[in-house]
A and B are shown apart, each in its own frame.
Chain A
Amino acid sequence: MNVMSFLKDSVEKFPTKAAIIDEERSLTFNELYQEVLKFSSHLGSVDKNVVSLIAENSISFIISYLGIINSGRTAHLIPPEISQTNMLIQLRSANSGMIVCSSVTKNNLLKYAAIKIPSFEFNEVLSRPIQQTTNLKSNDLAYLLYTSGTTSEPKGVAITHTMTEFTTNNIFQVLGYTSSDVDVLPLPLYHSFGLGCFHTSLRVGSTLVLLKNANNLERILESIKMHHATTLAVIPATLTKLLQFEKDTLADYLSKIRLIITNSTAIPKNTVQKFKEILKNGNLATYYGLTEASRSTFMIFDKTNGREGSVGKPAPNVKIKIVNEHNDSKEGEIWIKGNNVITNYWNNSQADKNLVDGWLRTNDIGYFDDENYLFLIGRNDDIINIGGEKITPYEIEEVVKQIPGIEDVAAFGIEHEIFGQTIKLNIVKSKNSDLDKSTILSYCIKNLEKFKIPTKIDFVESIPKTDYGKVKRFMLK
């Protein structure tokens, strides 16, 4: 199967049911299918197999994405807010033959003379001559993403139809998605998290309510209420922001929600606990995965499971092992194997060294508890070594975030002549906060071991992050 067969199945079962609702219009499954076929047939001759798609969340994005795939090509998804330099790097690396984009993006692109690849707005594609499409094969590449790069420059990750089917089946089976669901999605479709949610809706024939972004909390809540939504997908930062609403108000808006799915960026434990109380008829869930090994674990925070810090158990038919070269503790690097794992990176032999006999070395550190629940500790690169004491930045950040007047914080290692490394904090203060460094240190000394006390604190305007909300620590060091 491939994502087009997901759509075809849903067209057969629910032709007149709403498939996608965005902020401007909606399409039934049959209308979506017809639009995709039309778009696909107009893609015409492209002398290369990769077509780059640069656009915000919209129905046009979905038609273009499926249309590119239906034409037998690979959809290369580029975030519209990407820098021109990085866009050029990606386009060259992907060997893209065509760009499909929104009008806003096209206007920006045309100003950039270095890009010689032909670019078309969505509507312009439909004015191209009709051409026969090719049959899809399961080993074909469905889409190409560049990793968000928390530790280094982005790497190209191409996903086959087989991998997509495997991952989508795991998502809907473990999390119980059905055609009765109405799924609110404010996550970008050009990333693995949002795209996986879209594939799942298409697979089960549920209705997808697509929002442009997750910053408008009121719109998210109103959309949930208006469309009688049953699921919501958001990053942990959005969950924490939602808690600014009155608990009863939030509980009312979320009363029909059976599932909120979030990703494995560290979720504050008290956020998990609060959502356990707020969701009267549903559960918060998370997963652990990388673009190159999507949805490798799942964790449902039901009322009886107290493991708020876990990312859950391995997904069906996914193997995970902890590799500790010194064999001196149960903690080690997380390795993943399964049909959700890529066989190689996109034209990147250096990155391919992370793939060993089908296992992906994630560079993430974690451990399993006695009941096979996986806990993440951090990334190998993020570990701070202070005179032999190894510390993850997350435990520092979790404590510091509790201080009133702090909006955001990133902890990272800085060089120290005696200890090798010590901890530095970059802190974003809340608006009108008069917090000073001494107050922060006083709080730390009361709540952290003495080797975890930061030696430097800077107040900053913002913390550099990926679209998933992961701190780009390599930019801080």
Chain B
Amino acid sequence: MILANVLSNESEVKEAIKKIFFEVFPNLSEADFSWNKEQKNYARWDSFAQLNLITFTESKFNITLSLEESINIKSANDLFESVRSHLQ
């Protein structure tokens, strides 16, 4: 929970999630990223990339996302909301 406290600031959480997106999608440019851009608009966001996003997020924030939560993440913003609900 120490990490959670450090990252309790919303902008820090967002920054960490954005960093995860750029790690999982290394060819993603700053211009291509937006919080509401949906999975279907990412060329490489397939089921394995989804798995990677969840794994990186769980590791970074020391949380566990349920299967239902994982399936419902369709955008960076969805992931942010999901993380935020765990850190509250």
Give the B-binding residues of A (Cβ under 8 A). Answer: 386-387, 417-419, 422, 437-438, 441-442, 445-446, 450-451, 453-455, 457
Q: Are B55 and A441 in contact (CB under 8 A)?
A: yes
**Interface size on B (CB < 8 Å)?**
14
The B interface, classified by DSSP as helix, strand, loop or mixed, is helix
Known A418-B67, A445-B23, A446-B26: A438·B59 in contact at CB below 8 Å? yes
Within 8 A of A (CB), among B53-71: 54-56, 59-60, 67
Q: Are B23 and A419 in contact (CB under 8 A)?
A: no
For A387, the chain B residues whose CB sits under 8 A away are 47-48
Known A445-B24, A446-B26: A453·B55 in contact at CB below 8 Å? yes
The A interface, classified by DSSP as helix, strand, loop or mixed, is mixed
CA gap between A442 and B24 in the complex, in Å: 9
Q: Smallest distance from the beta carbon of A461 to chain B beta carbons, Å?
A: 21
Q: Are A457 and B23 in contact (CB under 8 A)?
A: no
For A422, the chain B residues whose CB sits under 8 A away are 51
Chain B 35-49 interface mask (CB, 8 Å, partner A; 1/0)? 000000000000111
Known A417-B67, A437-B59, A457-B59: A442·B51 in contact at CB below 8 Å? no
Interface: B82 (CB within 8 A): no
CA gap between A441 and B49 in the complex, in Å: 13
Q: Are A455 and B24 in contact (CB under 8 A)?
A: no
Interface: B77 (CB within 8 A): no
CA gap between A446 and B27 in the complex, in Å: 11
Interface: B52 (CB within 8 A): yes
For A454, the chain B residues whose CB sits under 8 A away are 55
For A386, the chain B residues whose CB sits under 8 A away are 48
Q: Are B48 and A450 in contact (CB under 8 A)?
A: yes
CA gap between A442 and B23 in the complex, in Å: 7
List 6 A-B pairs, minimum CB-CB distance, nearest first: A450-B48, A437-B59, A451-B48, A455-B55, A453-B52, A438-B59
For B52, the chain A residues whose CB sits under 8 A away are 445, 450, 453
29 residue pairs A–B, Cβ–Cβ below 8 Å:
A387-B47, A387-B48, A418-B47, A418-B67, A419-B51, A438-B56, A438-B60, A441-B23, A441-B55, A441-B59, A442-B23, A445-B23, A445-B24, A445-B26, A445-B52, A445-B56, A446-B26, A450-B48, A450-B49, A450-B51, A451-B48, A453-B48, A453-B51, A453-B52, A454-B55, A455-B51, A455-B54, A455-B55, A457-B59
Which partner residue on chain B sits nearest A457 by CB separation? Answer: B59
Q: Smallest distance from the beta carbon of A207 to chain B beta carbons, Å?
A: 54
Which partner residue on chain A sits nearest B51 by CB separation? Answer: A455
For B60, the chain A residues whose CB sits under 8 A away are 438
CA gap between A417 and B54 in the complex, in Å: 14
Which partner residue on chain B sits nearest A437 by CB separation? Answer: B59
Q: Smallest distance from the beta carbon of A212 to chain B beta carbons, Å?
A: 43
CA gap between A212 and B52 in the complex, in Å: 46
CA gap between A445 and B24 in the complex, in Å: 7
Q: Smallest distance from the beta carbon of B61 to chain A beta carbons, Å?
A: 10
Sample of 10 further A-B pairs with CB below 8 A, known A419-B51, A438-B56, A441-B59: A418-B67, A419-B47, A422-B51, A442-B23, A445-B56, A450-B24, A450-B48, A451-B48, A453-B52, A455-B55
Q: Smallest distance from the beta carbon of A220 to chain B beta carbons, Å?
A: 40
CA gap between A438 and B59 in the complex, in Å: 6
Which partner residue on chain B sits nearest A439 by CB separation? Answer: B59
Q: Smallest distance from the beta carbon of B19 to chain A beta carbons, Å?
A: 10
Which partner residue on chain A sits nearest B50 by CB separation? Answer: A418
For B54, the chain A residues whose CB sits under 8 A away are 455
CA gap between A437 and B59 in the complex, in Å: 6
CA gap between A300 and B55 in the complex, in Å: 42
CA gap between A454 and B48 in the complex, in Å: 11
For B24, the chain A residues whose CB sits under 8 A away are 445, 450
For A441, the chain B residues whose CB sits under 8 A away are 23, 55-56, 59
CA gap between A450 and B55 in the complex, in Å: 11
Q: Which of A387, A438, A451 has the most chain B CB atoms inside 10 A of its CB?
A: A438
For A417, the chain B residues whose CB sits under 8 A away are 67
